[in-house]
């Protein structure tokens, strides 16, 4: 029966579906871009509104202090009316009245700015949700589009196993889209955000140099240098996270040594690596998994534990691969943090896929030790 399927008709149907889906994807993309542009504009307006609000509050505090003094002066003049001339009495009254009017107008402006700030915050929150929904929908449409333009175009030649190809292809495409979305968010939340801050700080430095002193400007430049260095580190980390080339060429142990030396030099903490037993190659699948587990454990320690020392031990035997990552940092309560610790959750999921075990010991001010044991298989 598979031989009687009209492949040309099927291709024509798929082609129309691709055009429709592609058009929908463009519309979703435009909605997302428009929402993102409006989101950025509102963020700038919100920052400017907050600045104006702070200025108004400062001005209001100053006016309130002057008004209080003017009232005291007016009270003194009123109590001792005969001791002051008519012009002095009139001056005291007019000054108190003018300051009160200025204070009232100031409070009205402050209330308007507060309402504008709150309205902007609500709109920014709604736009952020719209952008996120557009990204999610765009990724889902991309999955469908890739499937239609990829697997379905040759469905006539291999119609007998189309169901298997469909399931396999979708899993691959979904994994790719998830990784692209994760990478996009990392770049947006990391280097992109840092570079935006660099632009803002550079403008601030220029203003400080003109309005204050070069000493303060140089201090800001030093802070700016730190931000640029952090952004560079994040870019290198993201590139390295995609796939360390040395892992395929040299194997797990040399790649881990290089990686840990880089982390040690950048973060100025001592990292000790120990490979127990004979250094040998294992399957690429297991090498990648063990490297990612060590990478995640070390990054968690550096980012959150504030340690002076991190130790990594690796042992590969015929039966098991054992990894131990320990630090002397501030520690945490695993029961309380586990539900919110996405890094640890991801590590557990990866270990479960390898049919291994992961145990965590940690307590406040007692450091953390993560032990991972993964069984070797015949293919490893």
234 φ/ψ angles, rounded to the nearest 5 degrees: -65, -40
14 φ/ψ angles, rounded to the nearest 5 degrees: -65, -40
What pLDDT digit, counting tens, does each position of 29-39 carry?
777 788 788 88
Average pLDDT over the chain reads 78
Residue 294 CA, chain-centre distance (Å), reads 21
DSSP states of 1-22 = -GGGS-HHHHHHHHHHHHHHHH
Q: What is the C-alpha to C-alpha distance for residues 366 and 362, in angstroms, rounded to an integer? A: 7
Q: What is the C-alpha to C-alpha distance for residues 376 and 320, in angstroms, rounded to an integer? A: 5
pTM greater than 0.75 (yes/no)? no
At 176 the pLDDT is 56
* Domain residue limits, the chain: 2-157, 245-375
What pLDDT digit, counting tens, does each position of 172-212 carry?
456 556 656 666 666 666 666 667 677 776 777 777 777 77
List C-alpha distances in Å: 225 to 70, 201, 234, 269, 298: 49, 10, 14, 20, 25
At 150 the pLDDT is 60
CATH topology of domain 2-157: Helix Hairpins (1.10.287)
At 345 the pLDDT is 77
Q: What is the C-alpha to C-alpha distance for residues 200 and 150, in angstroms, rounded to an integer? A: 44
CATH topology of domain 245-375: Heat Shock Protein 90 (3.30.565)
Q: What is the C-alpha to C-alpha distance for residues 148 and 162, in angstroms, rounded to an integer? A: 12
DSSP-derived secondary structure letter, 80: T
Tell me the CB-side half-sphere exposure of residue 49, using CA atoms within 13 A.
19
At 29 the pLDDT is 76
Q: What is the C-alpha to C-alpha distance for residues 22 and 144, in angstroms, rounded to an integer? A: 10
User: Strand 368-375 relative to strand 357-362: parallel, antiparallel, unpaired?
Assistant: antiparallel
Among 249-253, 317-321, 356-360, which stretch is predicted with the lowest mean pLDDT?
249-253
What pLDDT digit, counting tens, does each position of 86-107 carry?
788 788 888 888 888 998 999 9
Among residues of the chain, what percentage have pLDDT more than 70? 74
What pLDDT digit, counting tens, does each position of 289-304 carry?
899 899 989 988 998 8
Residue 351 has pLDDT above 60, yes or no: yes
Q: What is the mean pLDDT of residues 51-72?
A: 89
Residue 270 has pLDDT above 90, yes or no: yes
Q: What is the mean pLDDT of residues 61-77?
A: 86
């Amino acid at each position: 029966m598979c031989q009687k399927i009209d492949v040309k008709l099927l291709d024509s149907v798929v082609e129309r579906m691709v055009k429709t889906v592609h058009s929908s994807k463009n519309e979703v993309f435009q909605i997302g871009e428009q929402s993102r542009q409006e989101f950025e504009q509102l963020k700038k307006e919100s920052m400017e509104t907050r600045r104006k609000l702070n200025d108004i509050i400062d001005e209001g505090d100053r006016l309130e202090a002057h008004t209080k003094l003017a009232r005291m002066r007016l009270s003194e003049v009123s109590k001792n009316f005969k001791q002051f001339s008519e012009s002095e009495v009139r001056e005291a009254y007019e000054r108190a009245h003018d300051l009160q009017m200025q204070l009232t107008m100031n409070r009205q402006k402050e209330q308007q700015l507060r309402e504008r700030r709150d309205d902007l915050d609500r709109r920014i929150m709604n736009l952020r949700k719209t952008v996120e929904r557009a990204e999610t929908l765009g990724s889902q449409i991309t999955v469908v589009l890739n499937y239609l333009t990829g697997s379905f175009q040759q469905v006539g030649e291999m119609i007998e196993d189309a169901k298997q190809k469909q399931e396999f292809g979708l899993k691959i495409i979904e994994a790719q889209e998830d990784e692209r979305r994760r990478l996009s968010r990392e770049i947006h939340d990391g280097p992109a955000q840092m570079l935006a801050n660099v632009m803002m700080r550079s403008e601030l430095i220029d203003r400080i140099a003109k309005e204050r002193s070069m000493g303060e400007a140089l201090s800001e430049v030093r802070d700016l240098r730190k931000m640029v260095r952090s952004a560079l580190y994040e870019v290198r980390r993201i590139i390295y996270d995609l796939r360390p080339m040395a892992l395929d060429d040299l194997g797990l142990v040399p790649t881990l040594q290089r990686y840990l030396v880089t982390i040690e030099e950048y973060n100025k903490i001592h990292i000790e690596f120990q490979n127990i037993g004979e250094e040998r190659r294992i399957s690429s699948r297991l090498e990648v998994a063990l490297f990612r587990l060590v990478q995640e454990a070390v990054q968690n320690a550096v980012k959150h534990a504030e340690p002076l020392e991190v130790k990594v031990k690796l042992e590969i035997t015929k039966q098991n691969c054992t990894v131990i990552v320990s630090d002397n940092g501030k520690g945490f309560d695993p029961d309380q943090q586990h539900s919110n610790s996405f890094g640890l959750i991801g590590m557990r999921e990866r270990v479960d896929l390898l049919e291994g075990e992961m145990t965590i010991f940690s307590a406040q001010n007692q450091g953390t030790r993560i032990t991972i044991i993964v069984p070797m298989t015949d293919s490893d």
